[in-house]
């Protein structure tokens, strides 16, 4: 669901710029700060030419917004958003903007299949058992990620870690939470940030690795579930789990928006959020855009969910070598 722009952050400028100046502000801000132009294969100069040809200094805010939104749409970026007063936030990413396949994950259905599930007041996680496995869904990747070691301590069953529809947060929580799942250092991804107005002005690459937790090592089988709403730090968590030899990743590719996001106020007071990094796997594979892929691609249907069947969960149980009817409980 798209949210109304926070009006307190969108105070109009004292000297209102023309629509052309506003388009120029957006184009220049993106040109000087946006990170993954090359990774997304977009010709920003051509987009600028089209926008400046379309803008008219007599147009109102709605028409101006349409020009700006047309500039951002080709990037299809889950971290690229435009907020203005009295309007819904515009999301460049089509999956989020149109809520494509949003209905193909239903936590209520999952909970109906679990035995003894629990959560907290904020719904940050759902933990229960399912057909001889521990199940954990995370709604985001901040401190709730520390539920992973808590669940691992709860029993020795295989783990289904569900990151479908998981919001971003801070991937360092996830890396800390997963430390006991590896006995060696496992490089996961590397990133670099824009440091100047030239499009090739980046910092040096920084590599991030999953580090072992001393002598503690838990190598139980893990089934990781992802979808197109697994985004940002949750994608980086998925990439970390994907390095584990005991893990199988199931679902559909993640959103494809891993880069760190920044906020910029444009000349007309509208607020732009944009990614300012390039992120890639340590093998050079680019997941910015296409998303991080599963080992086993599987998707359920709304009709199946309406019958209490989650095909992705079923596939996870198969991958873990567990055989039962989830509708009968654990």
**Predicted confidence (pLDDT) per residue in 198-251, tens digit:** 999 999 999 999 999 887 899 999 999 999 999 999 999 999 999 999 999 999
pTM across the whole model = 0.92
Res 323: pLDDT: 79
- Specify whether domain 106-182+217-256+291-321 bears CATH 3.40.220.10: no
Q: Give residue for tokens 């430390």.
A: 179
Res 13: pLDDT: 43
Res 216: pLDDT: 85
Res 7: pLDDT: 37
**Predicted confidence (pLDDT) per residue in 131-188, tens digit:** 999 999 999 999 999 999 999 999 999 999 999 999 989 999 999 999 999 999 999 9
Q: Where in the chain is the domain with CATH 3.90.226.10?
A: 106-182+217-256+291-321
> Quick one: 101 exposed, middle or buried, by C-beta within 10 A (0-12, 13-18, 19+)?
middle
Alpha carbon distance 126, 138 (integer Å) = 7
Give the C-alpha distances (Å, rounded to integers) separating 79 from 175, 233, 248, 249, 288. Answer: 21, 11, 27, 24, 11
**Predicted confidence (pLDDT) per residue in 58-112, tens digit:** 999 999 999 999 999 999 999 999 999 999 999 999 999 999 999 999 999 999 9
User: pLDDT over 90 for what percent of the chain?
Assistant: 90
Decide if pLDDT at 280 tops 60: yes
């Amino acid at each position: 669901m798209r949210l109304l722009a926070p009006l307190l952050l969108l105070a109009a400028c004292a000297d209102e710029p023309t629509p052309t100046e506003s388009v120029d502000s957006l184009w220049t801000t993106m040109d000087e700060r946006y990170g993954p132009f090359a990774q997304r294969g977009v010709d920003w100069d051509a987009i600028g030419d089209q926008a400046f040809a379309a803008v008219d200094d007599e147009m109102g805010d709605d028409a101006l917004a349409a020009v700006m939104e047309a500039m951002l749409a080709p990037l299809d970026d889950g971290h690229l958003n435009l907020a203005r007063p009295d309007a819904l936030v515009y999301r460049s990413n089509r999956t989020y903007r149109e809520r494509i396949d949003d209905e193909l994950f239903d936590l209520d259905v999952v909970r109906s299949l679990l035995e003894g599930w629990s959560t907290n007041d904020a719904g940050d996680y759902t933990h229960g058992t399912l057909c001889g496995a521990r199940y954990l869904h995370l709604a985001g990747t901040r401190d709730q990620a520390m539920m992973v070691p808590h669940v691992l301590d709860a029993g020795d069953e295989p783990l289904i870690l569900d990151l479908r529809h998981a919001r971003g947060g801070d991937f360092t929580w996830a890396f800390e939470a997963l430390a006991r799942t590896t006995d060696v250092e496992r490089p996961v991804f590397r990133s670099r940030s824009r440091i100047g107005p030239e499009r090739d002005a980046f910092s040096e690459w920084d590599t991030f690795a999953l580090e072992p937790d001393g002598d503690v090592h838990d190598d139980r089988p893990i089934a990781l579930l992802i979808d197109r709403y697994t985004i940002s730090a949750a994608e980086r968590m998925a990439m970390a789990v994907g390095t584990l030899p005991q893990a199988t990743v199931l679902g559909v590719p993640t959103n494809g928006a891993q880069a760190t996001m920044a906020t910029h106020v444009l000349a007309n007071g509208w607020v732009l959020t944009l990614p300012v990094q390039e992120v890639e796997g340590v093998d050079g594979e680019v997941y910015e855009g296409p998303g991080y892929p599963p080992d086993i691609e599987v998707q359920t249907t709304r009709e199946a969910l309406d019958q209490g069947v989650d095909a992705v969960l079923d596939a996870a149980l198969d991958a873990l070598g567990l055989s039962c009817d989830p509708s009968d409980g654990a």
